[in-house]
Amino acid sequence: MLERNLQRRTFHFASRIIRLCRILSSNPGISRQLGAQLVRSGTSVGANYEEAKAAHTRREFACKMSLVLREARETHYWLRLILASGLMPPEDLREVVAEADELVAIFTTAVRRAKQPPVG
């Protein structure tokens, strides 16, 4: 259940990021550049999660989940920077920033657990 929920959440998160980036890319300069960074990291959270689910070993899973976490953290950073810079209205970003924060927390826990030695 949690796996399917995360699959949906990361997909929905990526689609929200794409919508935000379409707005950012409509403006030249910094907005467009930050949008390009955001779309790369924000869409790769779900893509890397899909890869992690297909891991053959616990070690491979932990490694791929570390990539998911790294991309989630980077996305959270870009979102906060866009918010702090005033490039988009805060009301357009609050929910997606909160979701990024939650995904970072979830994947931080998942990586910690995946790196623990198996019980038994």
In tens, the pLDDT along 70-109 reads 999 999 999 999 999 999 999 999 999 999 999 999 999 9
SS3 4: helix
Confidence check: pLDDT of 1 > 60: no
- For residue 56, is it within any domain? yes
- pTM score over 0.85: yes
Rounded CA gap, 82 and 30, in Å? 10
Which pLDDT band holds residue 117 (cuts at 50, 70, 90)? confident
Average pLDDT of the chain? 94
Rounded CA gap, 47 and 54, in Å? 11
Confidence check: pLDDT of 58 > 70: yes
Question: If you write DSSP's letter for every residue of 51-110 in order, what string do you get?
Answer: HHHT-SSHHHHHHHHHHHHHHHHHHHHHHHHHHHHTSS-HHHHHHHHHHHHHHHHHHHHH
Q: Which structural domain range is residue 30 located in?
A: 2-115
Residue with tokens 């918010």: 83
Into how many domains does the chain fold? 1
Confidence check: pLDDT of 2 > 60: no
Residues 57 and 92: beta-carbon distance below 8 Å: no
- For residue 120, is it within any domain? no
Confidence check: pLDDT of 120 > 70: no
Domain at 20, CATH number: 1.20.1440.60
The pLDDT of residue 25: 93
